[in-house]
């Protein structure tokens, strides 16, 4: 994997800025899976960390076993037909990849985030699972997702409002200028709201691949309009942005610190 050490992103220092005051946070990490998990303070218990670790180990193990049997699944940049015996995690990634026209690994972070988030539903009232910029959110209060877009003037100046009625929801980000994930484009940020989270993740990757210059923003936005699982999108290149769907953009200067989720 192409590790790009930009602005502290590989070390995920940005997480320090993303913690909401009503949540308890912890990290669960296995190999290159590094999840930041937030649970409402009233629901938090120390054993939730071990529950998440075991679930992450389970789905990683299933996916690794399948990739050993079907190595193209990891390498492909286009959708693939599943082989018999594929685990559910691979199936969800494959479905998302087919929706977006990308390889199945483009959906892995979102798929993992949703599995862990759903595992926590019987244990917590408020859940945020962030996996490399891809988020599963299930909240009963308004949350603001801060937008990080590299050197663009919009970085940490704007956020996306998410209402309780939209949850559970995936909010996934792809960038060609920030982070370690492979992108074939040059977008500073593409943020996609949708469900399942794997679909939002895969679509964010596809749209990010399409954006090379500011002139590509509207073309990329048009691509998502017929994908049912996508509820909204924000795309940023340099100092220009384009948005479509259920995207409420708010200035972060108007947001109280205890309302910020990322």
For the sheet with 248-251, list strands across it.
Answer: 143-146, 158-162, 248-251
Strand-pair category, 248-251 with 189-194: unpaired
% of the chain surpassing 90 pLDDT: 79
Ordered structural domains, the chain, with CATH: 13-259 (3.10.520.10)
pLDDT band at 186 (very low <50, low <70, confident <90, very high): confident
169 close to 193: Cβ distance less than 8 angstroms: yes
CA distance 189 to 93: 22
Q: Check pLDDT > 60 for residue 102.
A: yes
Of 7-11, 192-196, 239-243, 251-255, minimum mean pLDDT range: 7-11
Q: Is the pTM of this model over 0.85?
A: yes
66 close to 73: Cβ distance less than 8 angstroms: yes
pLDDT band at 151 (very low <50, low <70, confident <90, very high): confident
Q: Mark 19-39 as b/e (b = at least 16 C-beta within 10 Å).
A: bbeebbeeebeeeebbbbbbb
Q: Check pLDDT > 70 for residue 148.
A: yes
DSSP, residue by residue, 192-246:
EEESSHHHHHHHHHHHHHH-SSGGGHHHHHHHHTT-TTEEEEEEEETTEEEEEES
């Amino acid at each position: 994997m192409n590790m790009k050490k930009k602005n502290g992103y590989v070390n995920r220092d940005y997480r320090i800025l993303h913690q909401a005051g009503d949540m308890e946070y912890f990290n669960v990490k296995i190999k290159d899976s590094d999840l930041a998990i937030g649970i409402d303070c009233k629901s938090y218990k120390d054993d939730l960390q071990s529950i998440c670790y075991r679930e992450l180990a389970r789905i990683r193990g299933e996916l690794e076993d399948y990739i050993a049997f079907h190595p193209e699944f990891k390498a492909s940049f286009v959708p693939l037909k599943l082989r018999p015996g594929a685990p559910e995690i691979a199936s969800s990634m494959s479905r998302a990849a087919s929706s977006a026209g990308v390889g199945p690994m483009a959906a892995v972070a979102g798929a993992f985030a949703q599995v862990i988030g759903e595992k926590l539903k019987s244990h917590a009232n408020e859940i945020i699972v962030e996996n490399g910029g891809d988020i599963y959110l299930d909240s009963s209060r308004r949350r603001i997702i801060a937008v990080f877009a590299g050197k663009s003037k919009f970085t940490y100046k704007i956020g996306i409002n998410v209402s309780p009625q939209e949850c559970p929801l995936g909010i996934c980000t792809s960038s060609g200028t920030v982070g370690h994930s492979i992108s074939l484009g040059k977008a500073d940020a593409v943020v996609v709201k949708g469900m399942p989270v794997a679909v939002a993740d895969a679509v964010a990757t596809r749209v990010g691949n399409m954006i090379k210059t500011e002139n590509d923003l509207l073309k990329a936005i048009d691509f998502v309009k017929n994908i049912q699982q996508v509820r909204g999108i924000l795309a940023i290149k340099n100092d220009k942005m384009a948005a479509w769907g259920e995207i409420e953009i708010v200035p972060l200067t108007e947001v109280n610190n205890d309302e910020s989720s990322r």
